[in-house]
Chains A and B, each alone.
Chain A
């Protein structure tokens, strides 16, 4: 009975106050009235849960958008609220007042540290782990810890979809019903470990040093142990070819439309297609053409021939920021770059970001900034001096400026002979990024 009281009150609250809101107060209310709300609320016939260090929100959005465009009704926490309240709200929205699910699928992003308690209640048929790497230290410690927390939530009833190129998360599939996706060796892959790929250097079986056959980024790639033979699993879904010119990828000899050329998003799309194949959905390609990366993560506009691009990266996440920097480096043309990555959550909590554990900037590969195509760089925020110290270990000549206020960064741009202005921002820096863009537009008029 408590559950139904919780359901009805929460639904009324949602209808009256939160119809257009993206916050998760409705879910908080539901869980406050019935602590087991998530366990009791009806689930659709197929529940797909997604976690991992990077790419889980975009992967969820791809899956959800695809299924909706295919005519299915989907319960999803698309805004990325991946704890109990956000997930509860997503399911609550798609059940009747008699707790019958109206959805065909639930696509749920879940927090990796809450795996055991969330998966027990969600009972998913499919669990996807995009990858595991060093992440925001304040929550995740190190990869061994996160791995153990995810593993604690897995059981034999679940089908796992895992990244075969990730030597860490792929081990979750040991003795489980697991399928692996992988991207075949590509021309841009590196031949040796880069100094920053330190999340796994030793064999997880015998602790011998792994030999990397190729490294795509961080520790993503292919490696083998010369002593015990440990290596990447055999891929069930192998992306054989990336044709950027024709925006096409080939997976298990079938061609698909490429949604976005960013390597991270190619992995996200490969994950989507692997799932769709397991779900035995046959008509894939026509709908892929309608899918897009969410605008908040990547956006661009043009003014007087100069592109203004916003690239979002999870701040304090060394791999996410390194990936974004490499992507920016690879963008064609001459670029001016604004970096605003201080943790706004810290700023809101403590009125300063100088309490932020800044170690992550020493785990991030900033060497992409040395590229000649990046003509000027402005770093803004409370922690500017930490970046200044970090950048002493790079060869940036005199192309970088630092300032204390993010909103002042545009003032240091020269914009001489520039094709693009790129703003690399933290998740919670959206409002400030918009202010900066408005000021840059004024400068370009």
Chain B
């Protein structure tokens, strides 16, 4: 299995890259390519099974866009070929049309607006297929005009123009404002992704991940005050 981690030097906030450590513990023959801002993306000339882009500081979004712009068609091709792409937090905004006045990659139709006077922090509980996803959001922007939402909002906040939905999912592209290690915090989603990657073997520490997940899920389901 080959995965590419884009911009670990800049898209690394809130512990998200521990997802990669978990993948390394899970998949024995995992081949990980870390691509910094000054390198040619591995996916440009090679096949990959998964691309992971973590949460970043807003000033790097423009750098990411500039860096990925020459590979927009290749990214579109990989998305059509069902390659898994995970983009967390504000990083998924770069695949839309615009971030404020900044022209983004234009792969999807959505646009994002920043407001640095408002730091949004919230808990989130959403539904995707037959599973509940939980997590946290920490952001200074909001997205609108998403055509294919990722999750249905059960508790917490969705998109500015569609509060009942969160994130984007198109083929195997998953973009969400959830931050941190999404695989570790959502073992059911992790299992789902691994299944898509044709990984059939046991997942290490799954019981521990599920215990933490269910503890939090119970609180999120039963404690509405967490979402006020």
| Bound: A392/B22 CA distance, A | 10
Tell me the minimal C-beta distance from A212 to chain B in angstroms.
Answer: 13
CA distance in complex: A148, B59 (Å): 12
Q: Given A359-B179, A359-B181, A198 and B12 touching (CB < 8 A)?
A: yes
Residues of A within 8 A of B138 (CB): 137-138, 141-142, 357
A389, B37: Cα distance in complex, Å: 31
Give the docked Cα–Cα distance between A385 and B215 (Å). Answer: 8
Q: How many Å lie between the Cα of A359 and that of B25 in the bound state?
A: 19
Inter-chain contact B208/A354, CB cutoff 8 Å: no
Q: Which of A125-133, A155-163, A200-208, A278-286 contacts B (4 or more CB under 8 A)?
A: A200-208
In this complex, what residue of B is CB-closest to A148?
B116
Binary contact readout B1-41 vs A (1 if CB under 8 angstroms, 0 otherwise):
00000000110111110100100010000000000111000
Within 8 A of B (CB), among A94-147: 134, 137-139, 141-145
Q: How many A-B residue pairs have CB under 8 A?
A: 108
Checking B57, B116, B121 against A138 with a beta-carbon cut-off of 8 angstroms, the contacting residue is B121
B219 at the interface (CB under 8 A from A): yes
A363 touches B14 (CB 8 A): yes
Alpha-carbon gap, A296 to B150, bound state (A): 47
Interface residue tally on B, bucketed by range: 35 or more
Q: A201-B9, A352-B219 are in contact. Are A389 and B208 (CB under 8 A)?
A: yes
Find B181's partner among A144, A208, A362 (CB 8 Å cutoff).
Answer: A362
Report if A388-B212 is in contact (Cβ < 8 Å); known contacts: A198-B12, A360-B15. Answer: yes
Contact between chains at B116 and A202 (CB < 8 Å)? no
A residues less than 8 Å from B116 (CB atoms): 145, 148
A148 to B58, CA, bound (A): 12
Please provide the chain A residues from 331 to 379 with a CB less than 8 Å away from any CB of chain B in the complex.
Answer: 349-352, 354-355, 357-363
Closest 10 A-B residue pairs measured CB to CB? A362-B15, A359-B180, A385-B212, A354-B219, A355-B226, A359-B14, A357-B136, A385-B211, A362-B18, A392-B205
Known: A207-B37, A358-B185, A362-B180. 6 other contacts (CB 8 A): A198-B12, A350-B225, A357-B136, A360-B15, A389-B184, A392-B25
Residues of B bordering A, CB below 8 Å: 9-10, 12-16, 18, 21, 25, 36-38, 57-60, 63, 116, 119, 121, 123, 136, 138, 140, 179-181, 184-185, 204-205, 208-209, 211-212, 215-216, 218-220, 223, 225-226
B-binding residues in A (CB < 8 A): 134, 137-139, 141-145, 148, 198, 201-202, 207-209, 349-352, 354-355, 357-363, 382-383, 385-386, 388-389, 392-393
